[in-house]
Amino acid sequence: MTISQMQAASNLSGPLTRGFLLIEPAALVHVPELAEVNMRPCTPRILAHREELMPQLVDVAALDDETRALATECWMAEAYVERPPVVCAWLDSEADADAVSEHLARHLVGPGADGKAAFWRYYDPRVLTLTLAILDSMQQQALLGPIREWQFAWAGHRWSVTNAPKEAADDDRPLGWPRPEQWTRINHSEVADRVLRRLPALSVELATRLPATLDGLFSELELSSDTKDVDVLVGFMSQRVRDDFAIDAEIQGSKR
């Protein structure tokens, strides 16, 4: 195994000094002060005409002290805010910004569930958490490529996935790209996020279990239910998770 399981990230003792922040430009309206920071777009050639919509990479080491403190503050806030992610990840890599941005761009576009070209927002924590529960270890290593640690904020906590980096190759995207049968599971990411938002705050232990639990429930429902109403599905899944995690019993116990 070259990939670690998703685990709680260690606390920062001060401002970030190295690595890269991965920014979702469409969400910068929520943190306008961050929009002035110098960023490098991660743009596939096929989407060169939409560069402003591609995820952006911030080289932390290249920032001055004031901007570095601002960037760190925005990154740390991600675990506690209720809005779409702006700082989607902190990435630690020995590769330079060009190599990291090229690698990230390589996995943004490829064949979707129907074989047609799809834009994959795998870098969004709401997608990444379910993706990590679905991809096998070789796929995960290819997806992370030169990145030795990928941190992200999700479910009220910051998480870390570590990797044994390998040199990028031309065939990395096929190796790290979901297989056709995995797409139907990964495409449940939006429903999974809605289920999470219906749950009370989860401990690290329960949050760690949630992606695989949801993936298992989705697979079970595909075999036993033809429910198409998303609201009904979200309600049913939320209750199943509460039952499986004994959340309601735990809440009642804490009130006594």
What DSSP letter does each residue of the chain carry, written as one string? --BPPPEEPPPPSSS--SSEEEE-GGGGGGSGGGGGS--EE---GGGGGGGGGS-EEEEGGGS-HHHHHHHHHHHHHTTT--SS-SEEEEEEESS-HHHHHHHHHHTSEEE-TTSSEEE--TTSHHHHHHHHHHS-HHHHHHHHTTEEEEEEEETTEEEEEEB------TTHHHHHSPPHHHHHHHTTHHHHHHHHHHSPPPPHHHHHHHHHHHHHHHHHHHHH-----HHHHHHHHHHHHHHHTTHHHHHHHHH-
pLDDT value at 98 more than 70: yes
pLDDT tens digits, 139-197:
999 999 999 999 999 999 999 999 988 765 555 567 899 999 999 899 999 999 999 99
pLDDT, position 173 = 64
pTM for the structure as a whole:
0.91
Q: Structural domain boundaries of the chain?
A: 7-177, 189-255
pLDDT band at 242 (very low <50, low <70, confident <90, very high): very high
